[in-house]
Chain A
Amino acid sequence: MRRDRLTQGLVFVLSIAAALAFWEVVSRTGVISQKDLPSMSTTFRELWSLLKTGDFWIAFAQTVRGWALGLGVATALAVPIGILLGSSDFAASAFRVPIEFLRPIPSAALIPLLFLTLGTTLNSEIFLAAFGAFWPLLVQTMYGVRDVDPVALDTARSFGVGRFERLYRIKLPSAVPYIATGVRISSGVSLILAFTAELFMGNPGLGQKVNFAQSFGLENQLYAYALATAFLALAIHLFPPTVERRALRWHPSQRLGAA
């Protein structure tokens, strides 16, 4: 068992090392010219020198802010609305058509409209990120509230538990894993759209830096910023499951041995 994990770790490290070496070779030997694809060592050196500037960290913080506020606004709206639509059959069918029509509209299509109405402000970035992040979370919450064990609900009702108590004690706890999954999906969406707003509308942040680097033909910087963005995305992608496991320790889905 322990040897197995050791091999897995070894393969993981080797696999990444091989990819980085491949990158270096492809660029150094000129398969793709160094102007188009700066070598791995050049890019990491560039990233390292960027990391030492305050400018980089300000842009980084601005992107993180856009992500956090977008996700926050989306959660604050999607969870209550999802609970409402999930627990009322009537409300769900009343708003089904508008939701089904608005949901598939790609947020990217809203960029020019936001640019001309809200401009290059923090609000436009938050709106874009929140709009995209809202839908997956809404759908997840609705499913979660609907997927309550009916026996538990009936039992509570027969014990005379009131409507609010039922919502708070039974529906919400059973919907939490669904909501957690929704937050995870929406978190990635929110980051992508915060970055998109910066790249396309010029809101300050990593996206704007990428845009500048491209406009001025600074390939090394362009690749370094793209690399930094990917690391940020990876961190945000890997972070929630850890939090989820800790926060949902009480839930059956997280118990040891659960499939």
Chain B
Amino acid sequence: MNARTYLAAKVGAEIAVPIALLAGWQIWTAEAGSQKFPRLSTILVEFKDMWLFSQFGTHVVPSLERIGLGFGIAVVAGVALGIPLGLSRWARLWAMPHIEYWRAMPPPALLPISIILVHSIGNVQKVSFIAFFCLFPVLLNTIDGVRGIDPTFVETARSYGLGAFERVRRIVLPAALPQIFAGMRNSLSLAVIMMVLSEYFSSTSGVGYVLLISKNTFDFGPMWAAILLIGVLGYLLNVLFVILEQRLLAWHRGWRATAPV
């Protein structure tokens, strides 16, 4: 087998295997006729009927809103806390035990507590729950990013008489930015999970709520449509984020490419 046929076979397999899997699903479910595992075509029709776009406004928009707000708060708080913690060894010594503790905490364990503390099952509870657990990837990456900065940069800036605020704005923040973005990417996929968990536990709207209701009514069509939607949502958010990252960090890659090693 020469190189070209091998490449062709590889590309062929990459296309054929997913199609075969989907076809297998369709054939198996049509054969089994199980209510629990509907046919692929049924799921797709259900998906179109529900999300494009009759229930988009009532359930998808609230979920996206919660993800956006929770994620946004987590990023701002994570960077704002991470920079001083990255710069000061003392602050780290004080804070690290707490960060390690809360980071290890399984998020669902705090779900009932979050409802008690905020006295709500509405947006305040959902957004604060999402924000709390999305904080850690951003925070830890910011700390690491700031710690990893070449001290010469900061020293040089200081010797040129830049004030503390200017040093952070012009040196520390840009230098730590690639790693902050890595943390943000983790946080974003975490935000989708936290959204589902918090809505599934108790809510009146959202994609997680659709899951909950379809479970309680044994309605498998909407359930599969919701699972598919959550998968698509996570995928699209990630793609969007990568595009944004490439634009915002273009200067960084350009600088890296020309920097002598």
Contacts and interface: CB of A to CB of B under 8 A. Distances in A.
Given A12-B97, A106-B196, A106-B234, A112 B214 contact: yes
A32 interface: yes
Nearest to B215: A112
Interface in B1-51: 6, 9-11, 13-14, 16-18, 21, 36
A207 B108 CA distance: 8
A108 B218 contact: no
A226 B193 contact: no
Nearest to A191: B106
A108 B212 CA distance: 11
Interface in B58-80: none
Interface SS majority for chain B: helix
Interface string B182-208: 000000010011001100110000001
B211 interface: yes
Nearest to B223: A112
A199 B111 contact: yes
Interface SS majority for chain A: helix
Interface stretch (B151-159, B162-170, B224-232, B246-254): B224-232
Given A106-B193, A233-B106, A222 B200 contact: no
Interface in A180-203: 188, 191-192, 195-196, 199-200
Nearest to A227: B109
B104 A237 contact: yes
Given A104-B235, A113-B223, A116-B218, A94 B14 contact: yes
Q: Which bracket fits the contact residues of A? A: 35 or more
B57 interface: no
Contacts of B107: 192
A37 B117 contact: yes
Q: Which bracket fits the contact residues of B? A: 35 or more
Interface string B80-108: 00000000001001110110110011111
A114 to B, nearest CB: 10
B148 interface: no
Interface string A62-84: 00000000000000000000000
B116 interface: yes
B123 interface: no
A191 B105 CA distance: 10
A45 B90 CA distance: 32
A195 B105 CA distance: 11
A199 B108 contact: yes
Contact of A94 (B13, B101, B212): B13
Contacts of A192: 106-108
Contacts of A110: 227
Nearest 10 CB-CB pairs, A to B? A112-B215, A214-B112, A94-B13, A106-B193, A104-B234, A105-B231, A97-B18, A192-B106, A237-B104, A233-B104
